[in-house]
């Protein structure tokens, strides 16, 4: 993975696309979980959302390192 990505002359961190993709997947999963009513079974929904994002971002980042 490159440490930096050039986008129209602007240097961005290499993990920024992974971050944005992970965030988009997390939002879609959050909507699905919310519509299914599963958040009422959780002790702390905000903590679950954060943990879900961390897991998605970490897994995507680890897949790109290989």
Reported as a single tens digit per residue, the pLDDT across 15-65 is 888 999 999 999 999 999 999 999 999 999 999 999 999 999 999 988 877
* Degrees, nearest 5: CA angle 17-20-25: 125
Confidence of residue 5 (pLDDT cuts 50, 70, 90): confident
Report the largest interatomic distance among the alpha carbons of the chain, rounded to a whole angstrom. Answer: 47
């Amino acid at each position: 993975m490159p440490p930096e990505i050039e986008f129209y002359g602007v240097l961005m961190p290499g993990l920024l696309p992974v971050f944005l993709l992970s965030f988009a997947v997390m939002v879609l999963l959050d909507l699905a979980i919310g519509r299914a009513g599963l958040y009422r079974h959780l002790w702390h929904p905000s903590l679950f959302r954060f943990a879900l994002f961390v897991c998605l971002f970490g897994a995507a980042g680890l897949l790109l390192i290989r």
